[in-house]
Structure 1
Amino acid sequence: MIEIDGRKGGGQMLRTALTLSAVTGENFELENIRGSRSNPGLKNQHLECVKTAGRLCDAKLEGDQKGSERIVFKPGNIRNESFTSNIGTAGSITLLFDTVLPVTTQFSDSFRFTAKGGTDVKWSPTFNYFKHVKLPLLRKHGLVADIELGETGYYPKGGGKAVLTTEEYSMSSPDLKERGELERFEIYSKASKDLESQGVAGRQADEAAKLLKNNHLSVPIDKNIVYEDAKSTGSSLLVKAVYENSVAGFDAVGEKGKRSEDVAREAVEEFKSFHETDAAVDLYMADQLMIFLALVGGKVSIPEVTEHVQTNLEVIRSFGFDLEIEKTGKKNVLKKV
């Protein structure tokens, strides 16, 4: 039984452990779940990750209740079964997809998974980040997957719906040490239809484009602006930076009292901080690629070694995968030994 102490981390430690347990067949016990958070224990979205991973490998579970700070997960055999998971709140659909996607490396047939909850909420990647940044980057290395939006879900009501589909695939080892030259930007701005009269999505996109141009970056900027039905008022913005060898994404979510221009400024500031580094992927992607490096090998340069990266590394190593961080000059390179 692998024993993991979650007191230093958050939900990422749980999601990584669930995925690797399903793939390897190793039992694990996780205590002090989300111990570094002010509200520790399993929330709806974390509990749904546990149940979904359990269903994908016919696992025996202990502690799978809301608020639980300890779970035991004993996986059985991986099974490819299409089904629907309902978080029941505005909990993040994309974080649920993050748990499921690496498991599909083990499937020898097509797979379909539907999730209901929040598509564009704080503390998690937006739907557009997952669709336009994460999946395209992984497709370059063999992944065959896509997601389709059924309905956008903002905080607090959620009510979003999205479908993840994969086909049989075999991934190659990513080699992402150099991102190459910046080639273009893609801006994806969206808002609920009740904000259309205020032009919220358009203002977010226009302000982001203006700020990028003010940084003397003479590359093309494409803008995609949409208004969609949603059960709660909300908006989101993604700035996607396309480089010669990689892509990076920087998103922000609107909320009551937050100006559209401030949403844009938040995303652009994140891009500027990233662009000043030599990294090939953004901070969020650094976390997400670690599990794929463990499974298929490879190397990737990341902006910095965050606490998220450190705690995720501890979980991955506990399952017997040897990842290391190599420091070369200003670069931090994650690689499988």
Structure 2
Amino acid sequence: MVADPDPTPTENAFQDSDTQPIPIDGSMMEGGGQILRYTTALSCLLRKPIHVTNIRANRSKPGLRPQHLAGILMLRDLSEADLTGGKVDSQEISFRPSRLKSGVYSVDIGTAGSISLLIQIALPCLLFGGGESTISMTGGTNAPLAPQIDEFETVFLPVVTKHFGFTASISVLSRGYMPVGGGQVNLKVHPVGNKGLTPMVLTDRGKVVRVHGRVFVAGVLPMQIAKDIRSGILSVLQPYLSDKVVLNIELTQDTTARRGGNASGAILWAVTDTGCILGSSTLGEKRTKPKRSGVMVAESLIKQLEFGGCVDEHVQDQIIIFMALAAGTSHVVTGPLTSHTETAIKVMSDLSEARFETSALDDGRVEIVCRGIGLGCPPRDY
């Protein structure tokens, strides 16, 4: 990772890092890379040293993959941390941060690993970096088993910037698909300063007024595949949605990807009259006919809508760290809690003083309440 020559240290007061590292068992609960991502991000934000063992112990290939290592090295540079164990396949690391900085950075995963998962941990840290920051990231924009960059642009980022009160933007310069990667994305973040993050209050899902979609093909794949995916989407959504709901599905043929990056897929997002945004996505597979892919992604969106929550199951776990850092009490109504969300809540509760409560509502939805720590804000009485 390369930084500008004179990054600006943050002026936020952090806890004294001259302490014994907090032990983290990477095999607990969900047991994947999420535990590593959130614990290292919180380590930077709270200036708490950590020692993580059993990294990704519940995965078929335990230990750090290039994507996870790229994320750790990025956070190391953002926080001037001391890192031991930072190698591919490592199942144990020690991470001792110093002070978060702002600046201009670049990071290359080196594979088609997910850029979105790098953004997931970089964003909360850069909000408290003391100045405006930009990170140029190279890797996979539309990777399996990870949020597609389109979901971050159309669903995740609009939700968190609006409801937590900060400014950030994503610019997709080129796309990277399996197996070659090579996509380039810039993340630009403005610091929150001593006002901190505002608490999120999102309890009324409202009625769906618009559904948008992006169906794409890349590389040598013909446009007919995108048309077939859209046909599958429309066959499900048109009978389901009211005539008053605006339905717009865009077809695109991506020419920005590196040669060899052949891919297809779709991203859908629904907007409600109370400002909620819920999404779903899919990547094409050789064993699945394109029209069937369209049917599946449309059915996935309907499932999110039927849950009745204000965020979808993918954004659900990604907002937990912001709820923990916000100044005040957040209230969010969601569908059933996912294992990723339950893991995120445990990590935030164990490493910070944020206090979470979850309660099942009569209609099957769940309310998440969090009294955040108000990071970066002056001390306050609750």
* TM-score, length-scaled by structure 1: 0.95
User: 5 Å matches for 1:52-63?
Assistant: 52-63=74-85
Q: Deviations over 1:138-171 (max 9, x none)?
A: 2212221111111111111111111111223453
Find the counterpart in structure 2 of residue 243 from structure 1. Answer: 272
Q: Using the TM superposition, give the Cα deviation of residue 217 of structure 1 relative to its aligned residue in structure 2, in angstroms.
A: 3.3
Q: Using the TM superposition, give the Cα deviation of residue 127 of structure 1 relative to its aligned residue in structure 2, in angstroms.
A: 1.1
Find the counterpart in structure 1 of residue 109 from structure 2. Answer: 87
Find the counterpart in structure 2 of residue 158 from structure 1. Answer: 181
* Alignment partner of 1:113 is 2:135: yes
Give the Cα–Cα distance (whole angstroms) in 2 for the partners of residues 146 and 54 of structure 1: 23
- Greater Cα offset, 255-264 or 237-246: 255-264
* Alignment partner of 1:6 is 2:31: no
* Alignment partner of 1:328 is 2:361: yes
Choose from 347, 354, 359 the match for 1:315: 347
Q: Deviations over 1:168-187 (max 9, x none)?
A: 34532111122111111010
CA RMSD of aligned residues (A): 1.5
User: 5 Å matches for 1:103-182?
Assistant: 103-141=125-163, 142-169=165-192, 170-182=196-208
* Helix, strand or coil at the partner of 1:269: helix
* Alignment partner of 1:21 is 2:43: yes
1:192–1:235 Cα contact (<8 Å) kept: yes
Give the Cα–Cα distance (whole angstroms) in 2 for the partners of residues 193 and 205 of structure 1: 19
Give the Cα–Cα distance (whole angstroms) in 2 for the partners of residues 269 and 301 of structure 1: 21
Q: Using the TM superposition, give the Cα deviation of residue 318 of structure 1 relative to its aligned residue in structure 2, in angstroms.
A: 1.5
* Helix, strand or coil at the partner of 1:268: helix
2:184 maps to a residue whose letter is K
2:32–2:58 Cα contact (<8 Å) kept: yes
Give the Cα–Cα distance (whole angstroms) in 1 for the partners of residues 280 and 57 of structure 2: 27
Give the Cα–Cα distance (whole angstroms) in 1 for the partners of residues 219 and 113 of structure 2: 21
Give the Cα–Cα distance (whole angstroms) in 1 for the partners of residues 281 and 197 of structure 2: 27
Choose from 268, 271, 281 the match for 2:298: 268
Choose from 97, 100, 107 the match for 1:78: 100
* Alignment partner of 1:200 is 2:222: no
- Greater Cα offset, 130-139 or 224-233: 224-233
* Alignment partner of 1:306 is 2:311: no
1:2–1:318 Cα contact (<8 Å) kept: no
2:217–2:223 Cα contact (<8 Å) kept: no
2:180 maps to a residue whose letter is K
Find the counterpart in structure 1 of residue 307 from structure 2. Answer: 277
Give the Cα–Cα distance (whole angstroms) in 2 for the partners of residues 209 and 108 of structure 1: 46
The number of residue pairs the alignment matches comes to: 336
* Alignment partner of 1:65 is 2:90: no
1:222 maps to a residue whose letter is N
* TM-score, length-scaled by structure 2: 0.84
Structure 2 stretches lacking a partner, 5+ long:
1-20, 372-382
2:143 maps to a residue whose letter is V
1:10–1:37 Cα contact (<8 Å) kept: yes
1:5 maps to a residue whose letter is D
Q: Deviations over 1:283-310 (max 9, x none)?
A: 1101100000000041212211222222
Residues 32, 217 of structure 1: alpha-carbon distance in 2 compared, 3 angstrom cutoff: farther
Give the Cα–Cα distance (whole angstroms) in 2 for the partners of residues 251 and 154 of structure 1: 15
Find the counterpart in structure 2 of residue 220 from structure 1. Answer: 246
* Helix, strand or coil at the partner of 1:205: helix
Identity of aligned residues (%): 28
* Helix, strand or coil at the partner of 1:106: coil
Q: Deviations over 1:254-283 (max 9, x none)?
A: 133332212212211211211211211111
- Greater Cα offset, 92-101 or 304-313: 304-313
Give the Cα–Cα distance (whole angstroms) in 1 for the partners of residues 140 and 219 of structure 2: 17
Residues 77, 203 of structure 1: alpha-carbon distance in 2 compared, 3 angstrom cutoff: same
